[in-house]
Structure 1
Amino acid sequence: MSRRAVQGAIVMVALIGLFFLLREHWAHLAGSWVYLLLLACPLMHLFHGHGGHGGHGDDTGSSPSETKVS
């Protein structure tokens, strides 16, 4: 069995489990969705990938060919 097939099976089982979990606990989750949303904001800020900002500190704005030799 290929790795992609195993990953697909794991994702499908997780989605089915999530469906049944939400179905059973929807009554008390629906009452606290505002708090879950407010909790998600700082968590997304803390754990969001920080790789898309470019090279901080390393890039001075000029390439080596543009530097002037005096």
Structure 2
Amino acid sequence: AQAVADIAAAVAGQTAAKTQRDLQKQQREEAAMEARVMTEFRRHNPPEFKGEIDPEKADLWIQGMERVFEATRC
């Protein structure tokens, strides 16, 4: 009976460890993807919003951002 309990505990421990490794791998992959997306986005030199209240300048900024989003497929 004790041997079965020991085996069950070992299997549970291995399962928990694998689940943790899988989660960490997924988190690393997501972080790497986010970094690639940001690098690609920055490569297109997105326009900088300077906080202006002029609607025309704001519209031009939006248009510039939309072009970057289209180019990066965001």
Could you tell me the TM-score, scaled by structure 1's length? 0.39
Greater relative contact order (Cα 8 A, min sep 6): structure 1 or 2?
2
Could you tell me the TM-score, scaled by structure 2's length? 0.37
Select the structure that is richer in helix.
2
